[in-house]
Chain A
């Protein structure tokens, strides 16, 4: 992470029109990437929870929940960093650009998922129904992330993987962006592993108290 920060602020050059404000790119894009990655991981774990045997995949729903919790935090950060960038380059914090809309949809899906989870008291039922909702939400997401921004005009800069399949960035900017994406992906893996280890510890403590009773 320190290397990424140094590269973003000192090594990478300024963008032609935006100046130093363009450096937010090295944080906004990787954070947005992690919020989608966490969402996809949650969806895959939910599929594994529903498709596998009970014993084999009993923790998958809770791991999906952990990934969604990280994704939720990163989605909020994406909205904040994106709004700051929009204010600098477009003059307004929010204007319902198709890409802004797609990130808000992910945020709403996370909110709905957590609301559903909190309304189900039974652990087993919570896992099954929560997983089913996450899968349903995940399959509708490509409509927003890939289809709608390509159908409707957008002020947003081209995505990294655009229609021409080229990255229109200076070599050093491109290098910094790649390093930032890898760094934030590692941060996501670290946080996800940490939360899963806490989950195991919590279960062991619960089991210990149950045997004591």
Chain B
């Protein structure tokens, strides 16, 4: 063993410890103000109510319902997911984080945070949308899988984008501009899968969910490799 170099097991345990510490800090700071969560949920509520009001009780077709649901999910996510990195830059804590913790553990903890954040946002948006937009779900398991798979992919792909946007001064609309082209396969397939779960004659294709999971894994692996170049100054 080279002197001064830690064995793999020790490095792994350090990484896990750093991830847990970062997560504790992030959740504590975020849930002290709940700013990002409040903004995302408020946006979703306002948009859903506005759509329902504009429709005047007339139900939309399953395809339109699915499109509207995913537009609300996408823009709600865009309102909150970048906050985790932008806050570090705004509060001047990113330098301390950079010198005290490895880039890998920062990426892993921010990714986990964004996944949890996305689950919370989805758990509010989806029932609310179904209540206001008179949605009838044909296949509940497929619908849940499509929403969860799409949300997971959005959180996985946008974590590194959030770091890029934070480095660019946290310009709000830039996050959406950067994320949209990369997220289009996810949105496209999620809209199709969700619409299929609404349609009475729709068919259940679990291949779409496998694609969403594969995309999440693939984009996470690439982001993990690229993150250190974005994060380090």
CB distance from A148 to the nearest CB of B (A): 7
Residues of chain B within 8 A (CB-CB) of A101 are: 184
B94 close to chain A: CB less than 8 A: no
| Contact (Cβ within 8 A) A132 B181 | no
| Contact (Cβ within 8 A) A108 B181 | yes
In angstroms, Cα B223 to Cα A53, docked, is 21
From B173, which residue of chain A is reached at the shortest CB distance?
A115
| Contact (Cβ within 8 A) A116 B178 | yes
| Contact (Cβ within 8 A) A132 B178 | no
Tell me the A residues contacting B by CB distance below 8 Å: 50, 101, 105, 108-109, 111-112, 115-116, 119-120, 125, 128-129, 131-133, 135-137, 139-140, 143-144, 148
Residues of chain A within 8 A (CB-CB) of B167 are: 120, 125, 129
Q: Scoring B residues 205 to 221 as 1 if CB is less than 8 Å from chain A, else 0, what string do you get?
A: 00000000001001100
| Contact (Cβ within 8 A) A119 B174 | yes
* Across the A-B interface, the 5 shortest Cβ-Cβ residue pairs: A108-B181, A119-B168, A132-B226, A109-B181, A143-B185
| Contact (Cβ within 8 A) A139 B218 | yes
Residues of chain A within 8 A (CB-CB) of B168 are: 116, 119-120, 129
Residues of chain B within 8 A (CB-CB) of A148 are: 185, 188
Residues of chain B within 8 A (CB-CB) of A139 are: 218-219, 222
B98 close to chain A: CB less than 8 A: no
In angstroms, Cα B167 to Cα A140, docked, is 23
- Given A115-B178, A137-B181, A143-B185, is A132 in contact with B171 using a C-beta cutoff of 8 Å? no
Report 9 cross-chain contacts, Cβ distance below 8 Å, ordered by A residue.
A105-B184, A108-B180, A112-B181, A115-B174, A119-B169, A125-B167, A129-B168, A136-B226, A139-B218
B160 close to chain A: CB less than 8 A: yes
In angstroms, Cα B222 to Cα A23, docked, is 41
In angstroms, Cα B184 to Cα A112, docked, is 13
Tell me the B residues contacting A by CB distance below 8 Å: 160-161, 164, 167-169, 171, 174, 177-178, 180-182, 184-185, 188, 215, 218-219, 222-223, 226, 229-230, 233
In angstroms, Cα B223 to Cα A137, docked, is 11
CB distance from B82 to the nearest CB of A (A): 13
Residues of chain B within 8 A (CB-CB) of A115 are: 174, 177-178
**Cβ contact of A128, chosen from B161, B185, B223, B230, cutoff 8 A:** B230
| Contact (Cβ within 8 A) A135 B222 | yes
Residues of chain B within 8 A (CB-CB) of A136 are: 160, 182, 219, 222-223, 226
Max chain A C-beta neighbours (<10 A), residue from B177, B178, B180, B181 = B181
In angstroms, Cα B220 to Cα A125, docked, is 22
CB distance from B55 to the nearest CB of A (A): 24
In angstroms, Cα B157 to Cα A133, docked, is 11
From A127, which residue of chain B is reached at the shortest CB distance?
B229
In angstroms, Cα B181 to Cα A188, docked, is 24
| Contact (Cβ within 8 A) A116 B174 | yes
Max chain A C-beta neighbours (<10 A), residue from B167, B169, B178 = B178
| Contact (Cβ within 8 A) A50 B229 | yes
CB distance from A142 to the nearest CB of B (A): 10
| Contact (Cβ within 8 A) A144 B184 | yes
In angstroms, Cα B175 to Cα A119, docked, is 12
CB distance from B163 to the nearest CB of A (A): 9
Residues of chain A within 8 A (CB-CB) of B161 are: 133
In angstroms, Cα B226 to Cα A101, docked, is 27
- Given A112-B180, A133-B178, is A140 in contact with B226 using a C-beta cutoff of 8 Å? no
Residues of chain B within 8 A (CB-CB) of A125 are: 167, 233
